Amino acid sequence: MTIIRKLLTAASLAALSGTAAVAAPASGPVRNVVLVHGAFADGSGWLPVAEILRKDGYTVSIVQEPETSLADDVAAANRVLDRQSGPAVLVGHSYGGAIITEAGNNAHVASLVYVAAFAPDEGEQLGPLTGSKPPAGKSVGPVGGGYLAVDPAQFHADFAADVPAAQAQFMAISQVPINGVIFGTPVTAPAWKSKPTFGIVSTEDRMINPDLERSMYARAKAKVTELKGSHAIFLSQPQRVAEVIEQAARAG
């Protein structure tokens, strides 16, 4: 109890003084990767990519953001980034792209990777941005309390068509709903304007129009890789996704 009391006292004093202990970003080769999941998913989906990266010598961290608001989700990413021992590649899938667009300003972030993701500009909202080039899938709907989710009956076809049916079914029943207010929240200070950026287009994506991915990546001057696959490209082609992340690490 004495140790816990000391830790709590130290944390309280740091918070009051505005100098909470945060690891300082280090220079040198980028060996850290932080992965951010998108809407209607959770961090466990990154397992195949994480295993490849760890085998290749990278330290991997996963952000489990609550999907309650963009501010909450960016804060969740920053808490993970602040614990990194050195520079990191920050990776976002789908809605996770909006998160890394803001969290990418963290001093630990050396480069960004968008995986079938939104890469919004300053002031843009995801709702109107999606409407500018609508996706093929129409399976997202309200589930109560202002939250949205993918219709489980259509999850396999729209979200993860190239993933085994049993796996897609489990993803459908374990999906994390997203607060609809997020789609009307403007993005601020895009990190892709100042950091090396990479983008993966899923050419058969039914959740985000592939042409929208292309246009956002072009605007961000990203190095683009196109892969034939669904929105769940991180699961169906983890090796190719890991290769792009490792390219970003070398660029960072």
Instruction: Read off the pLDDT of each residue in 217-222 and give the average, rounded to a whole number.
Output: 98
The whole-angstrom separation of Cα 65 and Cα 78 is: 10
pLDDT value at residue 185: 98
**Token pair 């990203």 is at which residue?**
222
pLDDT value at residue 29: 83
* Nearest residue to 175 (alpha-carbon basis) of 205, 154, 202, 190: 154
Confidence check: pLDDT of 23 > 50: no
251 residue type, one letter = A
Confidence check: pLDDT of 6 > 80: no
The whole-angstrom separation of Cα 150 and Cα 168 is: 12
The whole-angstrom separation of Cα 41 and Cα 128 is: 22
φ/ψ bin of 119: left (φ > 0), alpha (ψ from -120 to 50), beta (otherwise): beta
pLDDT value at residue 14: 35
pLDDT value at residue 252: 80
Round the average pLDDT of the chain to a whole number and report it.
91
Give me the DSSP letters along 180-233. GGGGGPPP-S-GGGTS-EEEEEETT-SSS-HHHHHHHHHHTT-EEEEESS-TTH
Can you list the domains of the chain with their CATH numbers?
28-251 (3.40.50.1820)
The better pLDDT of the pair 10, 95 is held by 95
**Token pair 């992965």 is at which residue?**
35
pLDDT value at residue 31: 97
29 residue type, one letter = P
Q: What is the pLDDT of residues 196-218, one digit of tens each?
A: 999 999 999 999 999 999 999 99
Distances (CA, A) of 104 to 77, 109, 169, 190: 9, 6, 32, 8
pLDDT value at residue 27: 56
* In the chain, % of residues over pLDDT 90: 88
Q: What is the pLDDT of residues 118-168, one digit of tens each?
A: 999 999 999 999 999 999 999 999 999 999 999 999 999 999 999 999 999
Token output for 21? 């202990």
pLDDT band at 28 (very low <50, low <70, confident <90, very high): low
